[in-house]
Amino acid sequence: MLMKILVLNAGSSSLKYQLFNWDNQQVEAKGNVEKIWIEGSFIKHKNHEGNKSEFPGNLANHREALQKVLEILVNPQHGALERLEDINAVGHRMVHGGEIFKTSALVNAKIMEILHSLIPLAPLHNPANIIGIEAVQEILPWVPNVVVFDTAFFQSMTPEHYLYALPMEYYEKYKIRKYGFHGTSHQYITQRACELLGKDYNTTNIISCHVGNGASIACIQNGKALETSLGFTPLEGLIMGTRCGDIDPAIVPFLIKNEGLSADEIDTILNKKSGVLGLYNGKSSDMRDIEEGYVAGKEPETQILKMYVNRIVRYIGGYAALMNGVEVIVMAAGILERSPLTRALIMKQLERMGASFDETKNDFREQERVITTPESKITVIVVPTDEEYMIAKDTYELVK
């Protein structure tokens, strides 16, 4: 049977899509709707030949956005489908699956009910993902929907890794614990790394670094995620584009008292005004700007990049110790896929740990490549992430 799978990733004001032909593993079209709800929405679309086009249009909600995407997909000039009936399944990225979803799931009424019950855990993200499913159910009622969770891969964590040292009543009452995010990406890059290196996934100690605007590090042992840096929300751990990562939690009540901030205001500061952007006095959250200043020997860029790298190295070292050794380190996402400089700064700190960096192999972007010497005790490999592929794969497995 010909299998066409549409992958949707609905954000609060955006909708990313990719159409897969699962029979030949080709992406037939992909794009992004931006500024849904906001005036001046537009769709950036790429067809199977890589030709780009842009479609303006005021799209008042995700349903209208999906309708417009489907029109483009069947448009003979830009599209990839003869008719909408050719879509066999839709896979949705869902940010939070709580403690309930340990794997992806085929959507039915019961699943929808559970998804709604998880909204308090991800009040900004899960509602947009749910609206995406409801829009498909309305417009393409014959199509099965599959949900793929950012948290599911980390459900293998045991309590000694996911509990916070808070009164247990908060875990029992609110399920406050570490969940971890970017799971689809960590799973993809680590499995792919083992495939490329000819290693057995179930017996290799792996550390994976997904470092883009959002960033996290995870460690995988015995084929399962042992621990990861993102926590109850996607705020813990590394310094990110606009998120602070690890800080002393006592800073929060201090700021509330001394700046008279509300809970929502402090949430906005920690999530949207901190990280690289905060350290850079609000000028930019883009690592390219930081690197440019670093290369020119400027401050505060040099200090920011050093802080950024230090935090990554601390997590790698901690996870290596936690697993009693690491054999493979995988690097992925916007910054580590594209930046030889940030990669090199991290690698220089890992030399004594047993990762012999081969600088001559490091000058590339977005390729699957090893950057350590053949003798290196730890193999470090760059693997461009592909969350959409993983979502399509799970969707295929559940509907085939």
- Positions annotated as catalytic residues are 150
Residue nearest ligand AMP (C-beta atom): 334
* Sign of the CA dihedral running 80, 82, 86, 90: positive
Could you tell me if 238 and 312 are in contact, meaning their C-beta atoms sit under 8 angstroms apart?
A: yes
At 336, list the tokens: 């580590």
Size of the site for ligand AMP (CB under 6 A): 13
Whole-number Å distance between alpha carbons of 257 and 364: 48
Q: Considering the rule CB under 6 A, would residue 291 count as an interface residue with ligand AMP?
A: yes
Q: Considering the rule CB under 6 A, would residue 278 count as an interface residue with ligand AMP?
A: no
Q: Considering the rule CB under 6 A, would residue 279 count as an interface residue with ligand AMP?
A: no
Q: Considering the rule CB under 6 A, would residue 304 count as an interface residue with ligand AMP?
A: no
Convert residues 222-251 into a mask of x (bound to ligand AMP by CB under 6 A) and - (unbound).
Answer: -------------------x----------
Q: Quickly list DSSP for 319-339.
A: HHHHTT--SEEEEEHHHHHH-
Q: Which of residues 12-31 bind ligand AMP (CB under 6 A)?
A: none
Minimal distance, residue 23 CB to ligand AMP, in Å: 29
Q: Considering the rule CB under 6 A, would residue 346 count as an interface residue with ligand AMP?
A: no
Closer residue to ligand AMP (CB): 214 or 245: 214
Minimal distance, residue 87 CB to ligand AMP, in Å: 26
Q: Which of residues 85-114 bind ligand AMP (CB under 6 A)?
A: none
Per CB under 6 A, the segment of 36-44, 83-91, 255-263, 327-335 that binds ligand AMP is 327-335
Q: Which of 71, 267, 286, 358 binds ligand AMP (CB under 6 A)?
A: 286
In whole angstroms, how large is the CA radius of gyration of the chain?
Answer: 21
Q: Which of 204, 228, 339, 372 binds ligand AMP (CB under 6 A)?
A: 339
DSSP classification of residue 238: S
Q: Considering the rule CB under 6 A, would residue 293 count as an interface residue with ligand AMP?
A: no
Q: Considering the rule CB under 6 A, would residue 334 count as an interface residue with ligand AMP?
A: yes
Minimal distance, residue 308 CB to ligand AMP, in Å: 11
Q: Give the count of beta carbons closer than 10 Å to the beta carbon of residue 337.
A: 22
* Sign of the CA dihedral running 10, 226, 272, 333: negative
Whole-number Å distance between alpha carbons of 236 and 230: 5
Q: What is the 3-class SS of 160-221, one letter each residue? A: HHHCCCCCHHHHHHHCCCCCCCCHHHHHHHHHHHHHHHCCCCCCCCEEEEEECCCEEEEEEE
Residue 225: which of 201, 194, 197 has the closest Cα?
A: 201
Whole-number Å distance between alpha carbons of 316 and 376: 16
Q: Considering the rule CB under 6 A, would residue 287 count as an interface residue with ligand AMP?
A: yes
Whole-number Å distance between alpha carbons of 281 and 273: 9
Q: Considering the rule CB under 6 A, would residue 301 count as an interface residue with ligand AMP?
A: no
Binding site for ligand AMP (CB under 6 A): 212-214, 241, 286-288, 291, 333-335, 338-339
